[in-house]
Chains A and B, each alone.
Chain A
């Protein structure tokens, strides 16, 4: 336990000194602030009638404010997702790789610490680092939302939890790959696997679910593929936001956001947990076999 905590503590200290993570964090923070302020200025301009925008002539200033707020929250979720991915790559590429490659692992492993304790410490530090950075960005987003009066906290928080869960998986894939290949190659392979292959399969699965793919064999193959790759967890936030925007714009309840993916079910959460455990075990297996 002491060994795990020592590894986690000093890995976190190291991560706080890595410029690449600091750069991602600062750019993300600036982007969120600019997005909020920009949209607020845009809203003010619409209400004062100096520009045209999403405000239809029949919308009240309150409805316009709400619409811009929905727009802001949608954009914030995209920004957090993108920076979550960048930070996951940054953490995954550095948390273990440099210790194994530089020879630092030789001194560490000659101490009375097991490789399982080392691996758990590293994983703990990486996850805490990821949650802390994305969490602070989310907190900033929440503060910026005060510009609009708030009221969408739940949508934001649940989706942020899903974003963190997704980026943890990506980070674990990069970590697992970086224990037995160059970390840049590991990041590229992880990107292809997680964002391209899994992304395409999840998209096809959504189409198949909506009945857009009629061929039985294709549907079966897509289903099998879908359960072989990690797939992003989503909350109902994106769906609800889109629905609310449609309702405000059209002046009442109306269907229209049904083509957006629904919130993940219990099966997806169980699959996520399995994928996390699988890749964490992969990291341990690689560290255990590693000859330093």
Chain B
């Protein structure tokens, strides 16, 4: 099966004096698979997914989306991207945002009138009449996922999709991922919630400081009898200098 995403020796930094945000990352993702990208804050996960979504250009290396450059708008036709902390034009309503994005996706009137109400219902926003500026973070997150699936993507990138969701919302997202995987959609999941990644992903890559520390199927990365969290903590701590657990003014027993 042809790779949906190819990331080959990609490097990226935001300014010339900055350290590499992404340093030599390589992986591939095929249809019907879920790939989990894990790492502590600042590991470079979001930079990687933004390069795949055509939002950032790599300084070196190669990123291909459905075999072409993600910067080419045509390559993004089958991409659904739910960004971390999603936001939208703040004076529009949820339905208008979806109609706007449906227009960008080139959906005709018939498809729009079918998909938009169903997508809004899935996101629990079908009765919502307020403008985006009055939305909570959780509502924006649900709208972010809704707009990502609106175009029936062949690749769905979810960057911290459940960070602001309640347990029911998380369950819905897991069900969505399972259903999409079954229908052959490739999923790229970026998350801090290791238990969630363990539940839905077939393969994972653990990143720190812009580099991939370990990559493989769940069975290859997590040995029998251990959890993904154990492996993650061990790898990440080994790549960083040890630090005190708590500030001294908290851990000091003596007062005054």
Binding site for B on A (CB under 8 A): 2-3, 5-7, 9-11, 13-14, 17-18, 98-99, 102-104, 106-114, 117, 291-292
Contact = CB atoms under 8 A, between A and B. Distances in A.
B96 A107 contact: no
B44 to A, nearest CB: 14
B65 to A, nearest CB: 11
A112 B76 contact: yes
B86 A17 contact: no
B14 A107 contact: no
Among A2, A17, A104, A107, the most chain B Cβ lie within 10 Å of the Cβ of A107
Majority DSSP secondary structure for residues of A touching B: helix
Interface in B75-113: 75-77, 79, 81, 83, 85-92, 96, 100-101, 103-106
B104 A103 contact: no
B73 A103 contact: no
B83 A291 contact: no
Contacts of B88: 102, 104, 107
A110 B77 contact: no
B162 interface: no
Residues of B in contact with A, size category: 20 to 34
Nearest to A94: B91
15 contacts: A3-B104, A6-B103, A7-B104, A10-B92, A14-B90, A14-B91, A99-B89, A102-B88, A102-B90, A104-B87, A107-B83, A107-B144, A108-B104, A112-B76, A114-B73
Given A17-B91, A99-B89, A112-B106, A292 B55 contact: yes
B129 to A, nearest CB: 13
Given A6-B100, A103-B83, A291 B56 contact: yes
B22 to A, nearest CB: 13
Contacts of A106: 50, 55, 81, 83, 86-87
Contacts of A112: 73-77, 104-106
B43 to A, nearest CB: 18
Nearest to B150: A111
A110 B92 CA distance: 19
A107 B86 contact: yes
B38 interface: no
Among A2, A6, A98, the most chain B Cβ lie within 10 Å of the Cβ of A6
B26 interface: no
A10 B87 CA distance: 15
Given A6-B100, A107-B83, 6 more contacts: A6-B104, A9-B103, A103-B83, A106-B81, A110-B54, A110-B55
B92 A14 contact: yes
B53 interface: yes
